[in-house]
Amino acid sequence: MSISEIHALLALMDDPDETVYHHVRDRLLSKGKDVLPFVTDAAASGPECALFQGRLSKLQVGLQQSDIRAELADWMREGGRNLWTGIQLVQRAVDPTWHIADTNYAFESLKKEIWLELNEELTALEQVRILNHIFFSVHQMEGVRRLPHVPIEALPTGVLKEGKGNPLGLGLLYLAVAEELGIPLRGINLPSHFILAYCDDAYVGEETSRKGQSGILFYINPYSQGTVIGPDDVNEFLSHMDAEQSGKQWRPAHSMEIMQRLVKNVAYALREQADGMRADQLLQLFEPLLTTFENAEERTGDEC
């Protein structure tokens, strides 16, 4: 589709004939994200007509969602290898006006601060101490649990900006940075909580990790300033659960299971903010992900 054709179609977005409007909208939606800059320009320079602006706004959302669906499919096809990429998809779905470049710059800066302190001679505990120092001493990040829940505190991108988050938001930011730096941490989907496990490299490299606590050196609780905890502490926590479920809960989760929990957590927070419509849109948009690990969805809970 040529640029002149796009402009011609956008000029028809305020046509009173619904048949014409639907045809024009569908043509533009079929072209995907490449049309988005033109829609943004048309909204800024076009007439202050409520019908025109309203339709453009809906078209923008439709194009953004189409873009996210395509990128989500690619991310899942690749096995959810890059956690930070998946996190950004959720952020974009929640806030289409979000500035990706600013957040990525902050993420890269945080990662570089930690990288400068690392070397190959460090033990696992020493690596974690450096992560904790940068996160909790230098940047003074903190864990918060507010009621009602706040979506930005569940999103690692929000935690990066605000410096505080709930167990999942804070833990995922910690995990995403470690993943980028090659530190072998994995996420643990405990009920109403989220912690990390430091694993040996061979264990982390497996396609599936369903060995319970084998291969885990120790656990980390980012919500508690990165406190290192042992298997006995986790066993004590899980001993109060149903025996069948507890064995599943301590194993490192697949990145898609973790992303599934993030989507549900943010949707839960949106509902508590009386924004059920956006919560439903989010769940619908990520439906292919949510149905990938149906059992995991049932056991992790909505809030953290």
Query: Where are the alpha helices (H) located in 122-181, listed in sequence order?
Result: 124-132, 151-154, 156-162, 167-180
Per-residue pLDDT tens over the stretch 68-123:
999 999 999 999 989 999 999 999 999 877 888 999 999 999 999 999 999 999 99
Higher pLDDT pick, 59 / 284: 284
Q: How confident is the model at residue 60 (pLDDT cuts 50, 70, 90)?
A: confident
**The domain boundary residue, chosen from 24, 59, 77:** 77
Query: What angle is formed at CA 118 by the lines to CA 116 and CA 121, rounded to 5 degrees?
Result: 145
| Whether residue 191 sits in one domain with residue 60 | no
| Whether residue 266 sits in one domain with residue 205 | yes
Q: Which of 14-28, 100-114, 151-165 has the lowest mean pLDDT?
A: 14-28
Q: How many domains does the chain contain in total?
A: 2
> For position 300, what pLDDT does the model report?
43
pTM greater than 0.85? no
| Whether residue 232 sits in one domain with residue 114 | yes
Neighbours of 154 (CB within 10 A): 30
| Whether residue 243 sits in one domain with residue 107 | yes
Q: Put the strands of the sheet holding 216-221 in their side by side order.
A: 185-188, 195-199, 216-221, 227-229
Q: How confident is the model at residue 243 (pLDDT cuts 50, 70, 90)?
A: very low
- Does residue 175 register a pLDDT over 90? yes
Q: How confident is the model at residue 227 (pLDDT cuts 50, 70, 90)?
A: very high
Q: Which of 211-220, 256-265, 280-289 has the lowest mean pLDDT?
A: 211-220
Q: How confident is the model at residue 212 (pLDDT cuts 50, 70, 90)?
A: low
Higher pLDDT pick, 259 / 147: 259
> For position 223, what pLDDT does the model report?
95
Q: How much is the mean pLDDT over the chain?
A: 85
- The domain containing residue 252 runs over which residues? 83-300
| Whether residue 267 sits in one domain with residue 228 | yes
**The domain boundary residue, chosen from 77, 99, 118:** 77
**The domain boundary residue, chosen from 45, 77, 109:** 77
Percent of the chain whose pLDDT exceeds 70: 87
> For position 208, what pLDDT does the model report?
44
| Whether residue 224 sits in one domain with residue 146 | yes
| Whether residue 110 sits in one domain with residue 38 | no
Q: How confident is the model at residue 301 (pLDDT cuts 50, 70, 90)?
A: very low
| Whether residue 45 sits in one domain with residue 103 | no
Per-residue pLDDT tens over the stretch 34-49:
787 788 788 887 778 8
Residues 151-171, mean pLDDT to the nearest whole number: 93
Neighbours of 94 (CB within 10 A): 25
| Whether residue 200 sits in one domain with residue 106 | yes
Percent of the chain whose pLDDT exceeds 90: 51
Q: How confident is the model at residue 299 (pLDDT cuts 50, 70, 90)?
A: very low
Q: How confident is the model at residue 303 (pLDDT cuts 50, 70, 90)?
A: low
Under a CB-based contact definition with an 8 Å cutoff, are residues 134 and 114 in contact?
yes
Q: What distance in Å separates the CA atoms of residue 125 and residue 198, rounded to the nearest whole number?
A: 9
> For position 55, what pLDDT does the model report?
83
Q: How confident is the model at residue 294 (pLDDT cuts 50, 70, 90)?
A: low
> For position 215, what pLDDT does the model report?
82
| Whether residue 118 sits in one domain with residue 62 | no
At residue 98, the 3 state secondary structure works out as coil
DSSP assignment of 282-299 equals HHHHTHHHHTTTHHHHHH
Under a CB-based contact definition with an 8 Å cutoff, are residues 160 and 145 in contact?
no
- Does residue 304 register a pLDDT over 90? no
| Whether residue 107 sits in one domain with residue 69 | no
Residues 247-268, mean pLDDT to the nearest whole number: 87
Higher pLDDT pick, 241 / 35: 35
| Whether residue 91 sits in one domain with residue 46 | no
